[in-house]
Amino acid sequence: MSAKIISITATMALAILFAHAKADIITYSDFAVFDGAADIALAEDFESVPVAYNTALSSFSNNGLTYSGVSSSPFSPNVWIASPGYTNFGIPGPTTSSILTATGNEDFLVIDVAPDQTAIGFNTYLNDFGDVTVTVTEIDGQVTVFDYYHDPEDVGFLGVIADDAIASLQWTAQGGEKINTGIDNVYAGTTPVPEPATISLLGFSLCALALYRRRKR
């Protein structure tokens, strides 16, 4: 095996190993890329939930996920499923699907993701009153907080992949009493784990590199 091949193989091995080491979450703004990185399925589209639409709800659960209000000043903490036809979201014209939002400033949790689910993603609706703060809490207690924004006239997408199972995701926006923000079409799933044969190949590659360097000395 040539030095070049060994070097390339070892580099690939290290890249895969580091990809599965404990790290910060990875975010995606493109659904197709997110779908290619994780094994996901549609968990909720808010079109047929067993609760009332256009009504303040402290929380509700469906399809293995719970949606819970955190704070929504000056109103009580709630979530709110806005039926199609609203004109007070950032996009031009009326909405064409049901969207999870809240009254006042949107602040809600998506919780109880299944213990093995490390990926969650959804369509996003924003306003122009500032970034949304997204807080991701993993099952081991690790918390990651980041700001999220896109052109509010477009429907965006946010995908999140974590190293451990995701316990909750919090969406905190501002200016919601003027122009709503919210999420729709929630996808959840897992990320692939290397096959045992792949792990063995990585170990062989690293050993081969070490042997080559020793002989060269």
Residue 22 has pLDDT above 70, yes or no: no
The domain of 187 spans 23-192
Q: 127 and 76 in one domain?
A: yes
Q: 44 and 74 in one domain?
A: yes
Confidence of residue 71 (pLDDT cuts 50, 70, 90): confident
Average pLDDT over residues 1-11: 42
Confidence of residue 24 (pLDDT cuts 50, 70, 90): confident
Residue count (the chain): 217
Separation between Cα atoms, residue 66 and residue 152, nearest integer Å? 26
Percent above pLDDT 90 for the chain: 71
Confidence of residue 215 (pLDDT cuts 50, 70, 90): low
Q: 59 and 1 in one domain?
A: no
The predicted structure's pLDDT at residue 20: 42
Higher-pLDDT residue of 82, 203: 82
Strands (DSSP E) contained in the chain are 26-28, 39-44, 59-62, 65-69, 80-82, 99-101, 107-111, 119-125, 132-138, 143-148, 156-161, 166-172, 182-190
* Residue 26 CB burial class (10 angstroms; 0-12, 13-18, ≥19): middle
Q: 175 and 85 in one domain?
A: yes
Tally of domains within the chain? 2
Place of tokens 């919090």: 170
Q: 181 and 124 in one domain?
A: yes
pLDDT in tens, 135-193: 999 999 999 999 999 999 999 999 999 999 999 999 999 999 999 999 999 999 999 75
Percent above pLDDT 70 for the chain: 78
Q: 160 and 84 in one domain?
A: yes
Q: 150 and 51 in one domain?
A: yes
Q: 200 and 117 in one domain?
A: no
Q: 27 and 4 in one domain?
A: no
Long-range contacts of 2-5 (CB under 8 A, 24+ apart): 3/212, 3/216
The predicted structure's pLDDT at residue 19: 40
Q: 175 and 121 in one domain?
A: yes
Confidence of residue 210 (pLDDT cuts 50, 70, 90): low
Q: 197 and 177 in one domain?
A: no
**CATH for 36:** 2.60.120
